[in-house]
Each structure stands twice: as structure tokens, then as C-alpha cells.
């Protein structure tokens, strides 16, 4: 489906004009489509009709409780990376046996929290961590279910900050270490080895590296099996990319096809070798579920032309969406009021009000003439948007809205100034 579309030259989300939401709630604001979210979540559940596959949504992509609740209803589990995310997943009612815990630096309190909850597995990323989990589980006379995250040393084309599966990265352990750790876990009375995981990176728009990773994991699992460790599941991680390119604008206008692999294509390809070998499958998708469901709606405050650049200064900035600043990321920007097809466009650089040269959302985009008060939508912003927002420059985190058909709900209030004092206290 296309959640965001033009109707009578106005940009809509499902059956609601974005301008109507801006009038009701103000800007900047994240707006998500419930139908798009549900369609994407369902694709992960139904792509391969097997009871042995589980999609554990990577909560880091967007942790709004309403969104987590919808994903739970769709049958998804959760991949969490901190005590905070575990809290949110449990709060959303996600069953502990559908929760896995990834991350290189789990603290004692977080391990205890996972053991209290009885999650499906802790995914171990070092020998020291395995020792810590064994000791903590031992003290509590519990048996901790263990997955090991292996670093398969696979290169995938993406931003260098988003590759995670090459041998010099901090993530996972080398294959020979993974084997040792799983043997240690089998011998230890407080540990139970259940899974083998890898996550090669994020925003990867080719399927072959994932298939390579799946084959690599299956081969390792089979070797472990022949040495007496039969794992319950193989976890291929997340990382399926979405379309951020400027062709996206053309798609909205001309209904062109997607360029990144579809969810069904990805799920079919990665699960095939794992299911064929008789293992359960775990996947950890984040961006591919929530990314295209959301936009960041912002209003032009001023415009100015200087140094050869036409700036549109808007009321959102890097504190709301840091991806352009951090990764030089491209997000499509659409005018909320569409210009006539023959109207001329100006190459605007869209910047925020923050005191950083890096505070930009888009560079030199052809847009109709912008005036203060005009609305523009930064698209493909449902993943790693609000989740990475901050209060930098004393800015308040934006509101979040969920659109369902012709209705919309405020699923997170905009912060007010008192949030800036949260937990603060004057010295004695
Ligand atoms: N599993 C693990 C262990 C991960 O580290 C991640 C993402 C995922 C799953 C989900 O990956 P996804 O399907 O969303 O690609 N802030 C960056 C993305 C960082 C991703 C970190 N790990 C961005 O804005 O693009």
C-alpha cells in the first residue's frame, strides 16, 4: 500500500490530510500509518507459512508503546538491546518467550531482569559475558537460555556506521569462539544453549549477503549438531533496507515499483536454508517494518538566500531527526501542498534552528516556492527518527501521531518545558 499520497494536491496519510493534523497538534510531529505498519508486520509473519519462524522486532528502531502493541497483536516478538527496551517490550505485552536480548554490554541488572522475565534467550557477545550470565544464573539457581552472536565476517554495502558483521567490529564473536562458548554453555549447569545468531548490518538493499549469512550459520549449526549440540533456532538478524532515494518521490507520483527487496522476497530467501536444515528461524527486522510507515511533518519558519544557497529554516532539526547529520542520510522531502506540475521549483536546503552547521534535513531539493507557515514532510522517517531524538539545544521532543483510516490518535504527547527539569535538583 502507499500510506502517504496526494489527493486534491494535498499530502494525506491514509484518509487524513497532514495539514489537518498539523493544525490540531502543531509541528514538528511524527505521523505513522497504522495500515502500513500492520501490512509490513503481517508480511514478516505470513511470508513463509511455518510455525518455526519468529520475527523479533528490533525495538531500537521505534519504541513507541502503541506501535509495540500493534506489532504484538500482529504476532511479532521483540529483539531488545537494553533493560529499557526489555521494559517496553514487556509493558507492551510481548510474551517473554518471544523476546531475545542482543548487545555487547549487558549489565548485571539487565541480565537479572531478563532472567526474572524468562525471555527466550540472551544472545551472548563475549566470553566474559557468558561467564557473567553463568554466575548470575547460578546464584539464582536458574538455567539461562543462551544464543551466541557470531561475527560471520561478511561485508555488505551500506553506510560504514551500519555494517556490523565484519571481523574488526565490536559485535559478536569469531566463529571458533562461538563454538567454544556453545560447548561451555552445554557443560555448564546454569546455561542452556539454544541459538546461533548473526546481524550483518543495517539498511542493506541486496539479498545475497543475508543468504550468505544464513548459509554460514546453518553450516555452523550443523557442525555443532554433529558434536552433540542441537540448537533450536538460527537467527539471521535484521538489516533489510528500505528505499530512501529520490526515486521515492517519483514512485509517489507515478506509482513506480520498489527498488529494495520486498519483505516477502527477503524472508523467503533467508528462511529457506534454515528451515531446510530443520532449525527454527528468528529474524530481527526493525527499519523494514517501521521506516516507511512514518514521516516527520515540519513547518517553515523563515526562508533566506545566502552564499548561493536557498535555505528553508523549519521547526524540526537534528534533535528530531539526526540521520542526515549523522550518516549524511537522504530522506525524501515532500511539500504538503503539491505545486501544479508545470510550476517551477527551487533547490531548497532544509535546515533546523539548532546551533550546528550539521543541522540539516535535506540539501538542494527541488520544491515549490516556500513561505513561512508552509508544511513539508520528511519521508521514510518511521525508523531511527523519534527513537534517536534528543533535547539538544533545549528542544522539546516532538509529538507522535498514529493514523488509522480517517482517525488519528496522539500516541505520544509533545514534551513541554517542564521535561527539561525532569529529575533535576539543586545542589545542597
Ligand atoms: N538486530 C541487531 C542486533 C541490531 O543491532 C539491529 C540494528 C537490528 C537487529 C535491526 O536492524 P534493521 O532491521 O533496523 O536494519 N541508527 C541507524 C541504524 C542502526 C541500526 C543498529 N542496529 C540508522 O538510523 O540508520
Minimum-distance ligand 1 atom for the alpha carbon of 197: 3
Please give the distance, rounded to the nearest whole angstrom, from the Cα atom of residue 285 to the centre of ligand 1. 8
DSSP letter at 279? -
Domains and CATH numbers, the chain: 4-30+292-421 (2.40.37.10), 103-283 (3.20.20.10)
- DSSP states of 146-208: EEEEB------SS-GGGB--STTSSSSB-HHHHHHHHHHHHH-TTEEEEEEE---BSSB--SH
Q: Which residues are catalytic?
A: 355
pLDDT at 161: 76
Instruction: Tell me: pLDDT of 1 over 80.
Output: no
- DSSP states of 341-403: TTS--EEEEEE-SSS-TT-EEEEEEEESPP-TT-EEEE-S-SSSSGGG---GGGPPPPEEEEE
Determine the average pLDDT of the residues in 195-206. Answer: 95
Please give the distance, rounded to the nearest whole angstrom, from the Cα atom of residue 47 to the centre of ligand 1. 21
Please give the distance, rounded to the nearest whole angstrom, from the Cα atom of residue 16 to the centre of ligand 1. 30
Q: Is 62 in the pocket of ligand 1 (CB under 6 A)?
A: no
pLDDT at 258: 52
Q: Is 260 in the pocket of ligand 1 (CB under 6 A)?
A: no
Instruction: Tell me: pLDDT of 193 over 60.
Output: yes
Contact 89, 68 (CB under 8 A): yes
Q: Is 241 in the pocket of ligand 1 (CB under 6 A)?
A: no
Q: Is 382 in the pocket of ligand 1 (CB under 6 A)?
A: no
Place of cell 543541522: 359
Q: Is 331 in the pocket of ligand 1 (CB under 6 A)?
A: no
**Rounded to whole angstroms, how far apart are CA atoms 102 and 376?**
37
Instruction: Tell me: pLDDT of 122 over 60.
Output: yes
Please give the distance, rounded to the nearest whole angstrom, from the Cα atom of residue 199 to the centre of ligand 1. 9
**Rounded to whole angstroms, how far apart are CA atoms 89 and 195?**
21
Minimum-distance ligand 1 atom for the alpha carbon of 204: 15
Going by alpha carbons, the residue nearest to atom 23 of ligand 1 is 384
**Rounded to whole angstroms, how far apart are CA atoms 84 and 417?**
24
Q: Strands, E, within 290-359: which ranges?
A: 294-306, 309-314, 333-335, 346-351
Please give the distance, rounded to the nearest whole angstrom, from the Cα atom of residue 275 to the centre of ligand 1. 24
Q: Which helix (H) or strand (E) holds 209?
A: helix 208-226
Average pLDDT value for the chain = 94
Residue 249's pLDDT band (cuts 50, 70, 90): very low
Minimum-distance ligand 1 atom for the alpha carbon of 388: 16
Percent of the chain with pLDDT over 90: 88
Q: Is the Cα torsion angle 404, 406, 412, 414 positive or negative in sign?
A: positive
Instruction: Tell me: pLDDT of 250 over 60.
Output: no
Q: Is 235 in the pocket of ligand 1 (CB under 6 A)?
A: no
Amino acid at each position: 500500500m502507499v500510506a502517504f499520497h496526494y489527493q486534491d494536491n494535498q499530502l494525506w496519510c491514509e484518509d487524513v490530510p497532514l495539514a489537518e493534523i498539523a493544525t490540531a497538534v502543531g509541528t514538528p510531529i511524527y505521523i505513522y500509518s497504522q495500515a502500513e505498519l500492520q501490512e509490513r508486520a503481517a508480511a514478516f509473519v505470513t511470508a513463509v507459512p511455518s510455525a518455526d519462524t519468529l520475527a523479533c522486532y528490533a525495538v531500537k528502531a521505534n519504541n513507541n508503546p502503541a506501535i509495540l502493541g500493534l506489532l504484538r497483536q500482529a504476532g511479532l516478538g521483540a529483539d531488545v538491546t537494553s533493560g529499557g527496551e526489555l521494559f517496553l517490550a514487556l509493558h507492551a505485552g510481548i510474551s517473554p518467550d518471544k523476546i531475545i536480548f542482543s548487545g555487547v554490554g549487558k549489565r548485571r541488572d539487565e541480565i537479572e531482569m531478563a532472567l526474572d522475565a524468562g525471555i527466550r534467550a540472551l544472545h551472548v557477545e563475549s566470553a566474559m559475558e557468558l561467564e557473567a550470565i553463568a554466575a548470575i544464573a547460578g546464584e539464582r539457581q536458574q538455567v539461562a537460555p543462551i544464543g551466541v552472536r557470531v561475527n560471520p565476517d561478511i561485508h555488505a554495502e551500506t553506510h560504514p556506521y551500519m555494517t556490523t558483521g565484519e571481523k574488526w567490529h565490536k559485535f559478536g564473536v569469531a566463529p571458533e569462539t562461538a563454538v567454544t562458548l556453545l560447548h561451555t554453555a552445554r557443560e555448564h549447569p546454569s546455561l542452556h544453549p539454544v541459538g546461533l545468531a548473526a546481524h550483518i548490518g543495517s539498511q542493506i538493499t541486496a539479498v545475497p549477503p543475508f543468504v550468505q549469512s544464513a548459509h554460514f550459520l546453518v553450516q555452523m549449526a550443523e557442525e555443532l549438531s554433529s558434536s552433540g549440540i542441537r540448537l533450536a533456532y538460527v537467527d539471521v538478524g535484521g538489516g533489510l533496507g528500505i528505499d530512501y532515494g529520490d526515486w521515492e518521490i517519483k514512485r509517489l507520483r507515478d506509482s513506480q515499483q520498489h527498488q529494495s527487496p520486498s519483505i516477502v522476497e527477503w524472508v523467503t530467501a533467508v528462511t529457506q536454508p534454515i528451515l531446510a536444515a530443520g532449525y527454527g528461524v528468528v529474524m530481527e527486522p526493525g527499519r523494514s517494518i517501521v521506516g516507511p510507515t512514518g514521516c516527520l511533518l515540519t513547518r517553515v519558519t523563515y526562508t533566506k538566500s545566502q552564499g548561493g544557497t536557498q535555505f528553508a529554516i523549519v521547526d524540526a532539526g537534528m534533535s528530531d531527526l539526526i540521520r542526515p547529520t549523522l550518516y549524511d542520510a537522504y530522506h525524501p522531502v515532500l511539500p504538503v501542498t503539491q505545486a501544479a506540475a508545470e510550476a517551477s521549483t527551487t533547490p531548497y536546503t532544509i535546515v533546523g534552528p539548532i546551533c550546528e552547521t550539521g543541522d540539516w534535513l535535506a540539501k538542494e531539493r527541488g520544491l515549490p516556492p516556500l513561505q513561512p507557515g508552509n508544511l513539508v514532510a520528511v519521508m521514510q522517517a518511521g525508523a531511527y527518527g523519534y527513537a534517536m531524538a534528543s533535547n539538544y539545544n533545549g528542544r522539546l521532543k516532538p509529538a507522535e501521531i498514529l493514523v488509522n483510516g480517517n482517525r488519528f490518535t496522539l500516541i505520544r504527547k509533545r514534551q513541554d518545558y517542564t521535561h527539561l527539569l525532569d529529575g533535576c535538583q539543586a545542589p545542597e
